[in-house]
Chains A and B, each alone.
Chain A
Amino acid sequence: MLKKRIIFTLLYNDGFFMQSRNFNLQKVGDINWLEKNYNFEKISFYIDELIILDVSRNKKNIEKFIENLKRVSSYCFIPISSGGGIDTFEKAKKLLTNGADKVLINTNLKKNLLKEISEVYGKQSIIGGVDYTNVNKTKKIYTENGTKKISNDIRKHLDKISKLPIGEIYLNSIDKDGTGMGLDFSILNFLPKYNNKSIIISGGSGNSIHIADGLKNNNVDAIATANLLNFVGDGLLKARIELLEKNFNLPMWNANVIKKLKNKIKNNKYE
C-alpha cells in the first residue's frame, strides 16, 4: 500500500535558513544552527522527504548553496529534492549530482527545459512548483519568489502543468505560508479531473493537527511544511509519533537501527 509522505522544506537564503511568513523571510540560523537545533542526523527519521530550496532574494550563489545541500544530504537517507532559480539543464544537473534526487522548478516550468532534464533523469525527477494567493473565489499565480504574477487563471495553469513531463506538483499557498493557520485545500478543486501527478500541498502547517488534516485528504499524496520555528527541537518527532498513534498511513522507521548501523562495517572490517 502506497504511503503518504511528510516533507520538510528548508528555505535557504544566502547562507542562512529562513522562516517564511507570506513569503517575507526571517533569518533564523545557518547550517550550524540547523544541525544543533534540528539535529538532522537524529530527526530526519521523522520525515519522509526533504526539500531544500534556494530562495535567495539577491543573486543566488549556487556553489555556496550546494555546500549546504551536500552537507544536509550526507546524513539524510530519504529522498531529497532541491531547487530555486533553476533555469538551465546545467543547474539542474549540478543539484542532481550533489545530493538531490529530484529538482523543484517553479519560475522556469517550461517545456524545453523540462524535456532536457527528463530525457536524462526521467520525469519523476522533476517537481513542478505553483505559488498562489487567493483572490475572491479564484487564485493568482506567482513566480520569482512570489513577486511576479503570471496568471489569473489557476484552472488553466494547472491544466497546462498536468501535461508537462514532471512527476509531482507542489502547491504552495502564499496567504497561508508561515501563518500556522492550516492548509488551503480549496486549491485542489482546481486540479484537472485527469490529473495523474502526485500532489504535494504546502503552506500553513504549524502543528500535527494541520498535517493530519492534509493526510486525511484523498487528493493529497504528501504534506510539506517549511515552518522551521514551529518544529524545532523534537517538534517533528512528536508530530510523527502522534500521527502514527492515530493510525495515519505513514512509513515506519526505526531511529535506533540507523544509530546502531553507524560504522558497523568499519568495525567489522579487516583492514
Chain B
Amino acid sequence: MTFNKKKSELFWCTNCLNNSLRPRISFDKKGWCNACQWMVEKKKIDWKKRRKELLQIVKKFKSNSIYDCIVPVSGGKDGSYVASKIRDELGLNPLTVTSRPPLELDVGKKNLTNFLKNSYDHVHVTTNYKAMQRLNKLGLIKKGSPYYGWLTSIFSTVLKVAVQHNINLIFYGEDGEIEYGGSTENKNKAIFDAKYMIKNYFEGGYHQILKQSKLSSKELYWFEFPIKEIEKKSIGLTHWGYFEPWDSYRNYLVAKSKFNLDEHKQNSSGTFTNFAQNDQSLFALHTYLMYLKFGFGRATQDAGIEIRRKAMTREQGLNLVKLYDNHFPEEFIEEYLEYFRMSKGQFMKVIDFWANKKLFKKVKNKWVPKFSIK
C-alpha cells in the first residue's frame, strides 16, 4: 500500500528514520516505510510453511556436487550466521565464498579467520587489483559509489564459483530492500534471478562502467556475470531472510558467542555501532556519499534497525542520527587518496559533485544539511 508522493518531496518514516529519498522506498497511509511495515508483517508470516518450502528448494536445486549450496560470507555477523544455520541446523554442506574487498580492515580479517576455524570450506577470490581499483574509481566518479567494483564482485565471483563447482543454490543473507527500505518486489518470492539483483543493486549503468573501464575481458573475468550459464542451469538465488525472520542483532549475538566476533574498539565511522561492516574501510565513504546524495547516512540505517527491534524509540534514534550521520571519514582520507591515486583536491571535487545541493549547503568547507529531520 503506497500513496502518491512528489518524487523529490522530502519526508521521514513516522516509525523509523528512513527518508523518502531512499531509492525505491514506499510508505503507507500512516507514513510507515516498507521496512517498518515488513517488521509487522513478519509476525504474521507462516514461517513453518516457508521452512517446508526451504527443504523443497534444497532438494530441487541439488546437484552432483558435494556442496548443497554456496553461502557468501565476509567474516561478519550475517554470513557467518547463515552458514551456521545451513550447516549445523539443516545439516547441509555449504561452500562459503568471499570476494576480498579492497582496503581490508584488521578486525574484518580476524573475523573471517575465526569464522573459518569452525571448519567451513571456503573459496577466497581475490580479483585483479587493477580491475578492482579501476572499477571502484569509475564507480566513485561516475556514480558516487566508491566500491562499485567490489559490489559487483560479491555477486559475480559467487556466481562464477557456483558455475565452476556445479552448485545450483546460493543463500544470501537478507534482501536489504525488504528489510531496510526499498523495493518490495520480491517479498513473497523464495527464489529470484540475477536480473533482479543487477537492477536493484546497480541501478543500471553496469555495462557502461565495464566499457568505460577499458579493461580487457581477461582482466574483467571475475567481474562478469555468467548470465547464459545461469539461465541454462537454473541456479537458484535466495535469501535466508525469506525462510526465517531476519534479525541482524540476533545474528550479532550469535556470531559473538559462536565465532568470537570481534568489534571495533570505538564507534565505526559515521555511526554509533561498532559491530557491523567491519571488513573494509570503503564502506565509510560509501555511506558518506549516500548521506550527501540522499540525506541519510549509516547512523540512520543503524537507528532504523534499533528502532524496529524496539531497543530504542524514534526520538532516541534521532538524537543518535543528529550526532553521527554527517561524518566525513577523515580517518581514512589518506588511504582513499592513495588507493584512488587522486589528490585531495580532485577527490573533494568528486565529493562536492555528488552532494545534493537541494539538501546540503557548504559552511566553512563542510557540507551541512539544509533539512532537519522531523
Query: For residue B310, which residues in chain A have a CB less than 8 angstroms away from its CB?
Result: 180, 206-207, 209
Decide: A27 and B266 in contact? CB cutoff 8 A: yes
A24 within 8 A of B: yes
Does A28 touch B at the CB level, under 8 Å?
A: yes
Cβ–Cβ contact B265 & A235, under 8 A: no
Minimum C-beta distance from A39 to chain B (A): 12
Is B274 an interface residue, CB under 8 A from the partner? yes
Segment with Cβ contacts to A, from B46-54, B137-145, B317-325: B317-325
Of B274, B311, B316, B319, the contact of A26 (CB 8 Å cutoff): B274
Asked whether any CB of chain A lies closer than 8 Å to the CB of B361, the reply is no
| Complex contact B312–A180 (CB within 8 A) | yes
Could you tell me which residues of chain A, from 224 to 251, have a CB within 8 Å of some CB in chain B?
Answer: 229-235, 238
Category for how many chain A residues contact B: 20 to 34
* Mask of B258-279 contacts with A, CB within 8 angstroms, 1/0: 0000011111000011110000
- Do A181 and B311 form a contact, CB below 8 Å, given A26-B274, A233-B322? yes
Within 8 A of A (CB), among B86-135: none
- The answer for the CA separation of A181 and B312 in the assembled complex, in Å, is 9
Q: Does B313 contact A (CB under 8 A)?
A: yes
Report whether B274 and A238 are in contact in the complex, using a CB–CB cutoff of 8 Å. no
- Are B311 and A179 in touch, CB under 8 angstroms? yes
From the candidates A22, A28, A230, A238, name the one contacting B266 in the complex (CB within 8 A): A28
B306 within 8 A of A: yes
The one of B256, B265, B273, B316 that contacts A27, using a Cβ cutoff of 8 Å: B265
Per-residue A-contact encoding for B210-248, CB less than 8 Å = 1, 0 else: 000000000000000000000000000000000000000
Which single residue of chain A is at the shortest CB-CB distance from B275? A21
State the CA gap A209–B316 with chains docked (Å): 13
Which B residues fall within an 8 A CB radius of A?
249, 253, 256, 263-267, 272-275, 306, 309-313, 315-316, 319-320, 322-323
A207-B313, A230-B316, A235-B316 known, 20 other contacts, Cβ within 8 Å = A21-B263, A21-B275, A24-B263, A25-B265, A26-B264, A26-B274, A28-B267, A37-B323, A180-B310, A180-B311, A206-B311, A206-B316, A208-B313, A209-B310, A229-B272, A232-B319, A232-B323, A233-B319, A233-B323, A234-B315
